[in-house]
Amino acid sequence: MTVHPDDPAPNPHATEAEVEAALKDTKLAQVLYHDWEAETYDDKWSISYDERCIAYARGRFDLAVGPAPLPYERALELGCGTGFFLLNLMQGGIAKTGSVTDLSPGMVKVALRNAEHLGLDVDGRVADAETIPYDDDTFDLVCGHAVLHHIPDVELALKECLRVLKPGGRFVFAGEPTTVGNLYARKLGQATWKVTTEITKLPFLSGWRRPQTELDESSRAAALEAVVDLHTFDPSDLEKMASSAGAVDVKATTEEFAAALWGWPVRTFEAAVPDEKLTMGYRMAQYRAWLGLSWLDENVLRKVVPREFFYNAMITGVKPGAAQK
């Protein structure tokens, strides 16, 4: 586990003045919001590094790419967060060694800590996706999950990905919100938060209410979330953007329709109630429900629902040059 000595330290407790400044500076907002979330992010989104999330990450890669010679020698995760995508892909046999980058020092710190606990060969840098601090032709794979919609200039970031890829190397980004999917997800999340936080004010449900300080903290984070989420994507437009950046063999895929309609209220409810109320039995029931709805999406709804109505978009492309993976 290595991190660059000149990288800044995390700032998990932003002041009101910093938050106010971040409302006018999207990159500062990215840092503050994600430093704020770093230590609790895995719990908030039910992220793990066991078979459940290994299968999920590998499934996203396989759906986006299809059959490919594996493993890649060296992979980079852009906007790594806590390392969810790359670390689980490495455990799933996609890559041997890895590097993680994020604009948030807090996220890089947690990602490297997670990698160390898993015994994975990973280094990290605090870095802007529009100016990746690695040499040309360094990586065999560049990946990311739920990152492109945070980047001001997505096409520039994709050009940077192609620069640091070796000829024939591939990028894979998953978990990006579609324009239609984001609309219904936001509405469902807002409604669920309002209902849950209001109902738990009732005396006989007070045990289901988080302390007001935690709810206020979440509301402050939500104010920054509106600043850090910059884009939604039409799958066809995402393909055009990747091609314009210089990639070949470009393909966008979408997933989660019924699963998203179910999942967003569930995730919001979980964020609004105390963790101890969410038993392992409850979590497993929700996971099984998600699996069932994902099966419905993949095997039935994909055949009848236009791809732009699904919530998650994935995009992959290859750097022109040598034999491609």
Query: Average pLDDT in the 50-76 region?
Result: 96
Which domains does the chain show, CATH number per domain?
1-178+232-255+310-324 (3.40.50.150), 179-230+257-309 (no CATH)
Provide the β-strand partners of residue 97: 74
- Within 10 angstroms of residue 16's Cβ, the number of other Cβ atoms is 8
Residues 183-208: tens digit of each pLDDT? 999 999 999 999 999 999 999 999 99
Phi/psi zone of residue 139: left (φ > 0), alpha (ψ -120 to 50 degrees), beta?
Answer: beta
| Four-CA torsion 14, 19, 24, 27, nearest 10 degrees | 30
The CA distances from residue 43 to 18, 40, 240, 253, in Å, are 25, 6, 35, 27
Complete DSSP assignment for 99-138? EEEES-HHHHHHHHHHHHHHT--EEEEE--TTS--S-TT-
Look at residue 289 in the predicted model and tell me its pLDDT.
Answer: 96
Question: How does residue 217 score in pLDDT terms, banded at 50, 70 and 90?
Answer: confident
Question: How does residue 5 score in pLDDT terms, banded at 50, 70 and 90?
Answer: low
Q: Within its chain, how far is the Cα of 100 from the centroid?
A: 13
Residue 325 has pLDDT above 70, yes or no: no
